[in-house]
């Protein structure tokens, strides 16, 4: 009898939450254009190290989908700590869905730079930092990879998982 109760309790604690809050996968592709000054505007920290802020305006060419909502556009901001042809990047993406809900991602990764200081490739990880509307309380994480385009932009492939908390129907 006690063994049965222990097994049922373990099942309820370990298995049921995964069934109720199953993660959903998504992927998408962004086409981004830099909207601020070129890489040469970076501040020099040491003779061999620079810090750049890169801002990009983006449109989804293969929109990611979160439940029934489709991503419309996004804006990326990266701070790149560059040394030679490599940089460590931290940043943020603010995305807008077609229903006007928004989400925010924290970005962390690295870039490969050309001799001119411009990023030739970028990659790393992201995590949801928040959302509005139906995306309020969204959690999840994933990866991004970016390749420079001939017109000076960057194409990103993004993929990951997300969970949206259940909407409460109770009055507060």
Q: What are 2-14's pLDDT values in tens digits?
A: 665 555 555 455 4
Per the confidence metrics, is the pTM higher than 0.85? no
Over range 66-78, report the average pLDDT.
94
CA distance 167 to 108: 30
Q: pLDDT tier at 168 (50, 70, 90 boundaries)?
A: low
What values do phi and psi take at 98, rounded to 5? -65, -20
Q: Is residue 16 predicted with pLDDT exceeding 60?
A: no
CA distance 88 to 110: 4
Average pLDDT over all residues of the chain: 85
Residue 107 pairs with which residues in a beta bridge?
Answer: 91, 126
Domains for the chain: give ranges and CATH numbers.
22-163 (2.40.350.10)
Q: Is residue 171 predicted with pLDDT exceeding 70?
A: no
């Amino acid at each position: 009898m006690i063994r049965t109760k222990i097994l049922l309790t373990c099942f309820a604690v370990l298995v049921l939450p995964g069934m109720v809050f199953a993660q959903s996968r998504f992927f998408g592709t962004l086409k981004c254009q830099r909207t601020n000054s070129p890489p040469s505007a970076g501040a020099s920290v040491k003779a061999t190290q620079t810090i750049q802020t890169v801002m990009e305006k983006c449109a989804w060419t293969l929109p990611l989908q979160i439940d029934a909502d489709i991503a419309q556009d996004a804006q990326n901001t990266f701070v790149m700590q560059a040394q030679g042809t490599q940089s460590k990047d931290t940043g943020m993406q603010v995305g807008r869905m077609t229903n006007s809900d928004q989400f925010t991602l924290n970005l962390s990764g690295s870039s490969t730079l050309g001799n001119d200081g411009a990023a030739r490739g970028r990659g790393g990880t992201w995590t949801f930092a928040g959302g509005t509307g139906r995306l309020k309380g969204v959690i999840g994480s994933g990866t991004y990879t970016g390749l420079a385009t001939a017109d000076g932009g960057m194409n990103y492939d993004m993929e990951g998982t997300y969970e949206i908390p259940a909407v409460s129907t109770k009055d507060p």
